[in-house]
Amino acid sequence: MSNSPPNLTRIKTVIRAKTGVIIDDKNEYLIGSRLGILLEENNLSSFDELADVLAGPQDSPIFKKFLERITTHETRFFRDESTFAALVEQMIPEWMERNRSFGGASRPLNIWCAAGSTGQEAYSIAMLIHSKFPQIFPSLNLVSTDISETCVERASAGFFTDYEMNRGVSDELRAKFFVRVSDKGYNISSEIRSKVEFKQQNLLVTPYAGKFDIVFCRNVLIYFDLAVRKQILEGFQRVILPDGFLVLGATESPTGLLDSYVVRQFGLTRYYEINSTNITFAPAQMR
């Protein structure tokens, strides 16, 4: 083998085409550290060869492992707590108010966690709504999707290690919604588990199905370039109901990428009202 650095152009192109994830010069090391094992395990001699294999069938074990390894799954219960405060103090009360004014008090609340990783985000929402809005909980529709099948399987299993529990679950919620099942961790209660539908979904594949009052898409757009972010945000715009909400990660924003939204604020937390029926001047003037 030559000692010159491998040419990573083709594998980077495949990574972007299949996942949206951008590998630039600064994080090129991720290719070796995360995908190097796939070369060893599959007797491939270069990342170009791996790129050829990954351009093939997407249901192969190597493709699944590639998705699993190249994406970042970091999450935790009640990540960015102020976002959840905004949900219960502002978004849901407003949704209830609007719903009442349209005479539809029993309409289900539809929430989608796009790129929900191993389920902590959706389960946090379900536990909060159960606790704070028990009247809404029975008709809540909550979907969580992720590109990674392994994440979806883990989320569906509803098992969390002590380490994961210690990242965000209060003693009160632990007692109310979890059952210890081994010396390693807990199962979430069947009432909360059965409230969330977990599905595998690649956000690059549009249009999206369904209609939602609130879409959470947090801490994933940062991995994509502007064109992919725009495509995804436009996809959300088509499935978010009038005056519905979009919740992004703390460092993410639709500015310059989406044309119909109003910035909403709760403390330091920002979220976005999409397809607003209240727009009286253009979004660009509102920032």
Ligand X SMILES: C[S@@+](CC[C@H](N)C(=O)[O-])C[C@H]1O[C@@H](n2cnc3c(N)ncnc32)[C@H](O)[C@@H]1O
Chain contacts with ligand X (rule: CB under 6 A): 19-20, 71-75, 79, 115-117, 121, 146-148, 151, 202-204, 218-220, 249
We find the least distance from the C-beta atom of residue 207 to ligand X, in angstroms, to be: 14
User: Which 8-state DSSP code applies to residue 45?
Assistant: -
Give me the least distance between CB of 141 and ligand X, in Å please: 18
C-alpha–C-alpha distance, residues 55 and 58, integer Å: 8
Instruction: Indicate the residue among 32 and 249 with the shorter CB distance to ligand X.
Output: 249
Nearer to ligand X, 109 or 232 (CB): 232
Which is closer to ligand X, CB of 19 or CB of 237? 19
Give whichever of 234 and 243 is closer to ligand X, judged by the CB atom: 234
Shortest spacing between CB 146 and ligand X, in angstroms:
5
**Least distance (Å) between residue 232 CB and ligand X:** 8
Between 142 and 283, CB nearer to ligand X: 142
Would you tell me how many other CB atoms lie within 10 Å of the CB of residue 177?
A: 20
Closest separation in Å from C-beta 148 to ligand X: 4
Nearest to 271, CA basis, from 21, 72, 132, 92: 92
What type of residue sits at position 208?
Y
Is 8 or 67 the residue whose CB approaches ligand X more closely?
67
Per residue, the 3-state secondary structure of 171-218, as one string, reads HHHHHHHEEEEECCEEEECHHHHCCEEEEECCCCCCCCCCCEEEEEEC
Nearer to ligand X, 75 or 237 (CB): 75
Q: Which residues does residue 273 pair with via DSSP β-bridges, in sequence order?
A: 245, 262
Which one, of 38, 40, 41, 73, lies nearest residue 54 by Cα? 38
Determine how β-strand 261-266 pairs with β-strand 159-161.
unpaired
Instruction: Tell me how crowded residue 205 is: count the other CB atoms within 10 A of its CB.
Output: 9
Helix (H) or strand (E) holding 247: strand 240-248
Minimum CB–partner distance for residue 85 and ligand X (Å): 16
Q: Please, which residues have CB within 8 angstroms of residue 216's CB and are 6 or more apart in sequence?
A: 111, 112, 113, 114, 116, 121, 125, 247
Please state, in angstroms and rounded to a whole number, the distance separating the CA atoms of residues 48 and 94.
Answer: 52
For residues 218 and 122, is the Cβ–Cβ distance under 8 A?
A: no
Closer residue to ligand X, CB minimum distance, 20 or 244: 20
Q: In whole angstroms, how close is the CB of 121 to ligand X at the nearest point?
A: 5
